[in-house]
Amino acid sequence: MKPTARLVCGVDHSPGAHAAARFAADLADRLADGLVFVHAVQVPILPSELGMTTRTTDWDVIDELRRAGKNLLEELAQELRPGREVVTELKFGGASNVIAAAAEQYGAELVVVGSRGLGSVSALILGSVSLRLAVHAPRPTVIVPESGGTIADGPILCAVDDSEESRVAVNTAASLAERLDVRLLLAHAAPDDARVPHGQELLARLVVQSGLGTSAERLVVAGEPAEAIVEVAAGRDVELIVIGSRGRGALTSATLGSVSSAVATRAPCPVTIVRADSPDRVAG
């Protein structure tokens, strides 16, 4: 029988993955959830496949990668959850596919990854693994920057527009805020002052639809959406941002929306990306 585990965290040997593992362990403690650390062994193009000769056999390369991954998982479990149960999974395959499969297997409520893993070339873009998971993972995906790692008692910020993703994101954020016993802040970025009344009406409607009553603070800010949301997060000492994967006007489910991608790239705190077909609430 598989262990109960509600958070799945994908890890590699990068500093960003270590920050994600630290955040996942801290969040699991706060939510009284089980935790799975998952490492994908991505088999490289081997010398024999290129017609090259080498003293190192193909199997030696694969076995070394497997041992390094096993050691990584054991070290993270001992460092971040000493004396407590943590499930570790080492699988062969592409990282995003392996992590998504583990989330499905364990019925995870959240997937946690670093913003950039090994091989990322720039701090100005999301890593390919976090990007693919944000678009395709079966559960909301928490993208943790290298500066992240723990979650304190600051508010959760949910950035909204009038898309279906925002409705689901509000429910996810409200559930997390309630379980963590922190304040919930709903924010909408209006492109100019003339659109502020529309934003206020939108927030009021979402509060009613989600049954939040007076438990959520509402804020409409004028400005470019991603920049405005990041500024609010920094100014309010936000612990976690929750945002839909695509806002109004997105053309396809195969890409991450420009606003959510920009927020996840620039935010000073972890960002949870929620798809329209994600579970409506984070289970308690």
CA pair distance 169, 174, nearest whole angstrom: 8
Same domain (yes/no): 12, 139: yes
Q: Over the stretch 225-260, which tens digit does the pLDDT of each residue have? A: 999 999 999 999 999 999 998 754 443 344 567 888
Out of 114, 144, 174, a domain closes at 144
User: Domain total for the chain?
Assistant: 2
User: For 118-135, b where at least 16 C-beta lie within 10 A, e where not — what string?
Assistant: eebeeeeebbebbbbbbb
- Co-location of 91 and 208 in the same domain: no
In a domain, 95, yes or no: yes
Same structural domain for residues 17 and 105?
yes
Check whether residue 53 and residue 87 sit in a common domain: yes
Record the pTM. Answer: 0.87
pLDDT tens across 102-152, in order? Answer: 999 999 999 999 987 544 444 444 578 888 898 888 789 999 998 877 888
The residue segments making up the domain with residue 192 are 156-274
Q: Residue 45 sits in a domain of what CATH number?
A: 3.40.50.620
Whether 81 maps to a domain, the answer reads yes
108 vs 130: CA distance, rounded Å: 16
Distance in angstroms (rounded) separating the CA atoms of residues 207 and 215 = 9
**pLDDT computed for residue 157 by the predictor:** 97
